[in-house]
Amino acid sequence: MSGARYGAGGTEQGGARYGGYPGGATRAGGESEGPGFETLAIHAGQDPDPVTGAVVPAVSVATTFAQEAVGRHAGYDYSRSGNPTRGALEACVASLEGAAGAAAFASGLAAEDAVLHLLEPGDHLIVPDDAYGGTYRLVSQVWGRLGIAHTSVGLSDLAAVAAAWRPETRMVWAETPTNPRLGIVDIAALAELVHARGARLVVDNTFATPWLQRPLALGADVVVHSATKYLGGHSDVVGGIVASNDAEVLERIAFVQNSVGAVPGPWDCYLTLRGIKTLAVRVERQCATAATVVAALEGHPGVETVLWPGLTGHPGHEVAARQMRGFGGMVSFVVAGGEEAALAVAAGTRLWTLAESLGAVESLIEHPHRMTHASVAGSPLEVPSGLLRLSVGLETPDDLVSDLLGALERATG
Ligand code: P1T
Residue 18: inside a domain, yes or no?
Answer: no
> Same domain for 162 and 254?
yes
Catalytic residue among 132, 136, 230, 270: 132
User: Average pLDDT, stretch 59-77?
Assistant: 97
**Which residue's alpha carbon is at the smallest distance from atom 10 of ligand 1?**
132
User: For ligand 1, atom 1, which residue shows the shortest CA distance?
Assistant: 108
pLDDT tens-place string over residues 86-132: 999 999 999 999 999 999 999 999 999 999 999 999 999 999 999 99
- The predicted-structure confidence for 292-331, as pLDDT tens digits, reads as follows 999 999 999 999 999 999 999 999 999 999 999 999 999 9
Q: In angstroms, rounded to a whole number, what is the distance separating the alpha carbons of residues 198 and 178? A: 24
Owning domain of residue 32: 28-276
Final residue of a structural domain among 228, 249, 276? 276
Which among 105, 173, 179, 366 is the best mutation to test ligand 1's pocket, defined by most ligand atoms within 8 Å of the CB? 179
Query: What is the per-residue pLDDT for 15?
Result: 34
Domain shared by 119 and 186, yes or no:
yes
Is 229 assigned a catalytic role? yes
Residue 255 resides in a domain? yes
Q: How confident is the model at residue 34 (pLDDT cuts 50, 70, 90)?
A: confident
Say whether pLDDT at 67 is over 80.
yes
pLDDT value for 21: 36
Residue 349 lies in a domain: yes
Domain boundary (276, 302, 320) is at 276
Q: How far is the CA of 252 from the centre of ligand 1 (A)?
A: 23
Residue 47 domain-assigned? yes
Same domain, 85 and 203: yes
Q: Which atom of ligand 1 is nearest to the CA of 371?
A: 20
**Is residue 276 pLDDT above 60, yes or no?**
yes
> Are both 55 and 130 inside the same structural domain?
yes
Q: How far apart are CA 164 and CA 299, in angstroms?
A: 38
Choosing from 6, 18, 77, 80, the catalytic residue is 80
Are residues 404 and 298 both part of a single domain?
yes
Tell me the mean pLDDT in the region 246-251: 98
From the list 229, 252, 282, 389, the catalytic residue is 229
Q: Atom 3, ligand 1: which residue's CA is nearest?
A: 108
Q: How far is the CA of 179 from the centre of ligand 1 (A)?
A: 9
In a domain, 23, yes or no: no
Residues 34 and 168 in one domain: yes
121 and 265 together in one domain: yes
Active site residue 6: no
The pLDDT confidence band at residue 342, using thresholds 50, 70 and 90, is very high
Atom of ligand 1 nearest to the CA of 358: 20
In a domain, 12, yes or no: no
Judge whether residue 385 has pLDDT over 90. Answer: yes
The span from the CA of 205 to the CA of 176, in Å, is: 7
Residue nearest to atom 16 of ligand 1 (CA): 357
Are 260 and 316 contained in the same domain?
Answer: no
Find the CATH number of the domain harbouring 76: 3.40.640.10
- Single residue among 219, 241, 276 that ends a domain in this structure: 276
CA of 382 to the centre of ligand 1 (A): 16
Q: Which residues line ligand 1 (CB under 6 A)?
A: 107-109, 132, 134-135, 175, 179, 204, 206-207, 226, 228, 238, 240, 356-358, 372
Q: What is the CATH number of the domain that holds 387?
A: 3.90.1150.10
Q: What is the pLDDT of residues 187-233, one digit of tens each?
A: 999 999 999 999 999 999 999 999 999 999 999 999 999 999 999 99
Is residue 17 in a domain? no
**Are residues 215 and 266 located together in one domain of the fold?**
yes
- Region 10-21: what's the mean pLDDT? 40
Q: The pTM is what?
A: 0.94
Q: Are residues 291 and 272 in the same domain?
A: no
User: Is 110 domain-assigned?
Assistant: yes
**Residue 413: band (very low, low, confident or very high) from pLDDT cuts 50, 70, 90:** confident
Q: What is the pLDDT of residue 11?
A: 53
Q: Which residue's CA lies nearest to atom 12 of ligand 1?
A: 132
Count of structural domains within the chain? 2
For the chain, give the mean pLDDT: 93
- Same-domain pairing of 237 and 301: no
Q: How far is the CA of 335 from the centre of ligand 1 (A)?
A: 23
- Structure confidence at residue 160 as a pLDDT band (50, 70, 90): very high
pLDDT over 90, % of the chain: 91
Per the CB < 8 A criterion, the answer to whether 9 and 76 are in contact is yes
Question: Is 204 a residue of the active site?
Answer: yes
Distance, CA 47 to ligand 1 centroid (Å)?
31
* Measured distance CA(332)–CA(341) in Å, rounded: 15
Does 52 share its domain with 128? yes
User: Which residue from 112, 207, 226, 230 has its CB within 8 A of the most atoms of ligand 1, so it is best to mutate?
Assistant: 226
